[in-house]
């Protein structure tokens, strides 16, 4: 008697070979996709920082001073300290009166120097 072979499917060796090739391709692509994702987030942060800096400069041009976040204090805040959430919201509210652009403040810590009118954004760690 002759053995009847099933010719309609793949052998186990063919499936293992295809899975190995796919694993190698994914292993090569994953680091570059991760770097691409990080560079996109960095570009988004820079864009937001430039937008806020332009709004600060416009505020200064209209008002003659940079936004004051603590009106009860005689001395304007300076230094490189992250703003608490309530002051960050106050700053974005004041800047929204100047610019119609959307300021996305949630994913960032704001470092605002009121005396120089400079802003620096740092992505929050999640």
Mean per-residue pLDDT for 33-54?
91
| Dihedral sign of CA atoms 86, 91, 118, 75 in order | negative
pLDDT: which is higher, 126 or 44: 44
Classify the phi-psi angles of 117: left when phi > 0, otherwise alpha if psi is within -120 to 50, otherwise beta.
left
For 113, the token pair is 């120097």
Residue 101 has a pLDDT of: 76
Average pLDDT on 38-64 reads 91
Whole-model pTM? Answer: 0.68
Greater model confidence, 77 or 122? 122
Beta-strand runs (E) in the chain: 108-113, 118-123
User: Residue 63 phi/psi, 5° resolution?
Assistant: -95, -25
Q: What is the pLDDT, as a whole number, of residue 65?
A: 87
Residue 73 pLDDT grade (very low, low, confident, very high; cuts 50, 70, 90): low
Which stretch of 1-5, 12-16, 55-59, 119-123 has the lowest confidence by average pLDDT?
1-5
25 contacts: CB under 8 Å, gap ≥ 6: none
Instruction: Reply yes or no on whether the pLDDT at 71 is more than 70.
Output: no
Q: How confident is the model at residue 69 (pLDDT cuts 50, 70, 90)?
A: confident
At 81, list the tokens. 């300290």
Nearest residue to 107 via CA among 55, 49, 56 = 49
Total Cβ atoms within 10 A of residue 90: 17
Indicate the SS3 state at residue 54.
helix
């Amino acid at each position: 008697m002759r053995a009847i072979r099933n010719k309609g499917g793949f052998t186990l060796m063919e499936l293992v070979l295809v899975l190995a090739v796919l694993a190698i391709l994914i292993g090569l692509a994953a680091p570059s996709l991760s770097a691409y994702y990080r560079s996109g987030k960095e570009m988004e942060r820079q864009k937001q920082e430039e937008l806020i800096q332009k709004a600060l400069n416009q505020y200064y041009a209209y008002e003659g001073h940079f936004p004051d976040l603590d009106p009860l204090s005689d001395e304007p805040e300076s230094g490189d300290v992250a703003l608490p959430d309530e002051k960050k919201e106050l700053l974005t509210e004041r800047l929204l009166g100047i610019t119609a652009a959307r300021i996305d403040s949630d994913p960032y810590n704001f470092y605002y120097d009121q005396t120089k009118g400079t802003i620096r954004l740092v992505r929050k760690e999640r």
